[in-house]
Structure 1
């Protein structure tokens, strides 16, 4: 697991400007890079790059998290079950589920968390 996280800009990405998501974040050797696209109290969208061999420490979120791999291959472990995602594939990590994001080979992903709407569910 790594604690080598290179946080890109924590500000939102420029609105009204076209961009190619896979090109706005670079791979950095021996690092995980995280860049914020949108950050609101109701949720956020980030794009991340993981160098080969890197991983995030296991965590649990109180919200569902949508993950889409946009380059390479990711290993997502949810409640101890391994999922291999290739470019273009997605998965939803359920709220309150312990999870780990690993890079056996380098990859880039989009992560979306929506925090509102939970109060309406019973």
Structure 2
């Protein structure tokens, strides 16, 4: 997809999220829709075989698979998440993602308030 719309042009109108980015060969593609210090909303498209290695983040997160299916590890336990399904990831817990086949997802991250 060439010349994507600026994020500010996406507010206050219905969106077909899967249409906002394309799967690219042997790549992971991302598009930030909203980003604030308190969190973000980002679209991702993973080609088959792509992965994000285990890591932690200081955010509670939700992965919602839009198309295809993803394998998501949380604290070493793998889960298959299919189109239309979501999985919640707790902050500071190791997690990873891999693509058994191409898929698209939206990632919502929220920073926990300081205690």
Is the pair's TM-score, using the shorter chain for normalization, greater than 0.5? Answer: yes
Q: Is the 8 A contact 1:37 1:44 kept in 2?
A: yes
Partner of 1:41: 37
Q: Is the 8 A contact 1:13 1:36 kept in 2?
A: no
**Which stretches in structure 1 are left out of the alignment for 5+ residues?**
1-7
SS in 1 for 2:7: coil
Partner of 1:119: 114
Partner of 1:29: 25
TM-score normalised to the size of structure 1? Answer: 0.83
Displaced runs of 4 or more, over 3 A = none
TM-score normalised to the size of structure 2? Answer: 0.88
Q: CA deviation at 1:12?
A: 3.1
Question: Between Structure 1 and Structure 2, how many residues are aligned?
Answer: 111
Partner of 1:106: 102
Moved more, 96-105 or 14-23: 14-23
Distance in 2, Cα, partners of 1:80 & 1:60 = 12
Structure with higher strand content: 2
Q: Is the 8 A contact 2:43 2:105 kept in 1?
A: yes
Q: CA deviation at 1:13?
A: 4.7
| Equivalent residue in structure 1 for 2:73, among 77, 81, 103 | 77
| Equivalent residue in structure 2 for 1:55, among 51, 54, 59 | 51
**Which stretches in structure 2 are left out of the alignment for 5+ residues?**
none
Change over 3 Å in CA distance of 1:43–1:52 after alignment to 2: same
Q: Is the 8 A contact 1:12 1:39 kept in 2?
A: no
